[in-house]
């Protein structure tokens, strides 16, 4: 069977969770391979509406095994709360359908604290962090100063390891930020309250995946955020601290030898961006407010109003190339139905010259959008389920985007519900 990655082409919030929830039916295993509890994948299905932060979006399908890979920022507190929330809505989460890699590093309480302290220090130069501890976590991981989930099985060694880390981390907390130090009592309490709760789910997921692969099982890799937030390929430093791109999926999932047969890039029919950083196609004022309202563009985790604008062809084409997308899912087409004409950011103007290339991050803030317009369709399309039933102007918009970005648009989503889409 084939493996597939579902990734965000743009700044995140494209509707990846919705697409994973839809396509999981064809797969045996769903894996989150990077990121942490800092984003929200919204899923609407027969159980209700959920904003998943760490749980893979395949959790709603019976018989599907969901994995949190070694590349994830494994936040026991966030995960435990999330398991309780979905369980309260009738979704069963057991060690049979959720497995946590023993090689995943744990996001510790001081990561969250340091995130807040650093954003406060930066004041108006802040990165727009969700303050979930992601950047301090990944810096510590690469400094080899985190705890692996598998260490929960060795309490004595874990205690000694934590004591060493505590001594080191308190130097930063107290001497760099002038904050209160962490104590071993706090850490012991945290282990009892959260870390031990997730221990039953921790196992050697690498071994499990190698066996599954040998048995011909198919895997869906679920990315968090989008290309432009990728640490190496995004709008650095306004990126996240991990690799959100499909190429990282095998490494972060625990199956580095995996072949990805298909990369489905999720693109929203317009642009949104949460947090700081250059966002060339951004709209302001009344126009922006209208689009934000129509699309319900408020952060799933933070409730923050998202920055919005028309579809950015330059950034999207770059995203498609970096991801190696083999097909596109275009979401939220229904949101544009109110517009008389559909705007797109077709090119950028940089130093007076028009360009179709995505600029280097340092000069990106100087880029200006070149906007073009296509005819609107001005009718409700949320009930459409067949390509030929879409109004001609809507089909033309899809075909225009497809031509500009050089990738086949296979799915056109016209609503948040699982079945609200058109397949071409």
Applying CB under 6 A, the residues found at the interface with ligand GDP are 8, 12-18, 39-42, 44, 300, 331-332, 334-335, 413-416
Shortest reach from residue 8's CB to ligand GDP, in Å: 6
Phi then psi for 406, rounded to 5 degrees?
70, 35
For ligand GDP, which is the closer residue by CB, 235 or 267? 267
Annotated active-site residue in 13, 28, 75, 140: 13
- The C-alpha atoms of residue 390 and residue 374 are separated, in whole angstroms, by 16
The helix (H) or strand (E) run that includes residue 98 is strand 98-101
56 within 8 A of 32, measured Cβ to Cβ: yes
290 within 8 A of 256, measured Cβ to Cβ: no
Shortest reach from residue 291's CB to ligand GDP, in Å: 12
For ligand GDP, which is the closer residue by CB, 329 or 345? 329
For ligand GDP, which is the closer residue by CB, 96 or 389? 389
**Nearby residues of 88 by Cβ (< 8 Å), 6 or more positions away:** none
Shortest reach from residue 97's CB to ligand GDP, in Å: 20
- The C-alpha atoms of residue 314 and residue 357 are separated, in whole angstroms, by 6
For ligand GDP, which is the closer residue by CB, 60 or 348? 60
Catalytic site residue 111?
no
Shortest reach from residue 19's CB to ligand GDP, in Å: 8
Catalytic site residue 41?
yes
Shortest reach from residue 194's CB to ligand GDP, in Å: 24
Residue 228 Cα distances to 10, 83, 234, 238, angstroms: 6, 29, 4, 9
- The C-alpha atoms of residue 309 and residue 271 are separated, in whole angstroms, by 5
For ligand GDP, which is the closer residue by CB, 39 or 166? 39
3-class DSSP state for residue 275?
Answer: coil
Annotated active-site residue in 21, 28, 41, 111: 41
State the catalytic residues: 13, 41
């Amino acid at each position: 069977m084939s493996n597939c990655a579902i990734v965000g082409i743009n700044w995140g919030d494209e509707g990846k969770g919705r697409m994973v929830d839809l396509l999981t039916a064809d797969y045996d295993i769903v894996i989150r391979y990077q990121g942490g509890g800092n984003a929200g994948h919204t899923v609407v299905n027969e159980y209700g509406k959920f904003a998943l932060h760490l749980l893979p979006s395949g959790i709603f399908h019976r018989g599907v095994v969901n994995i949190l890979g070694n590349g994830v920022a494994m936040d026991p507190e966030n995960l435990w709360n999330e398991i309780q929330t979905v369980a309260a809505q009738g979704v069963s989460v057991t060690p049979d359908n959720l497995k946590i890699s023993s090689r995943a590093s744990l996001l510790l309480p001081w990561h969250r604290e340091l995130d807040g302290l650093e954003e406060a220090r930066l004041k108006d130069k802040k990165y727009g962090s969700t303050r979930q501890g992601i950047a301090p976590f990944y810096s510590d991981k690469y400094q080899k100063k985190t705890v692996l989930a598998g260490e929960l099985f060795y309490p004595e060694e874990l205690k000694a390891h934590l004591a060493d880390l505590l001594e080191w981390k308190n130097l930063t907390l107290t001497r760099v930020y002038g904050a209160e130090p962490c104590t071993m009592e706090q850490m012991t309490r945290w282990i009892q309250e959260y870390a031990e709760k997730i221990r039953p789910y921790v196992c050697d997921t690498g071994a499990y995946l190698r066996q599954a692969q040998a048995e011909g099982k198919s895997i869906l890799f679920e990315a968090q955020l989008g290309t432009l937030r990728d640490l190496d390929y995004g709008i650095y430093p306004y990126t996240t601290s991990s690799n959100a791109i499909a190429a990282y999926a095998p490494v972060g999932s625990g199956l580095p030898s995996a072949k990805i047969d298909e990369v489905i890039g999720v693109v929203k029919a317009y642009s949104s961006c949460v947090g700081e950083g250059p966002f060339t196609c951004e709209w302001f004022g009344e126009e922006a407010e209208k689009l934000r309202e129509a699309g319900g563009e408020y952060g799933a985790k933070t409730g923050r109003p998202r920055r919005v604008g028309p579809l950015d062809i330059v950034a999207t084409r770059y995203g498609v190339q970096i991801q190696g997308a083999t097909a596109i899912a275009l979401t939220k087409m229904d949101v544009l139905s109110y517009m008389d004409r559909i705007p797109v950011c077709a090119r950028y103007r940089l130093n007076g010259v028009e360009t179709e290339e995505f600029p280097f991050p340092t000069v990106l803030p100087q880029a200006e959008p070149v906007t073009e317009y296509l005819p609107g369709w001005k009718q409700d399309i949320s009930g459409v389920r067949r390509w030929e039933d879409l109004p001609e102007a809507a089909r033309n918009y899809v075909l225009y985007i497809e031509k500009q970005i050089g990738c086949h648009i296979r799915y056109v989503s016209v609503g948040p519900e699982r079945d609200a889409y058109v397949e071409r």
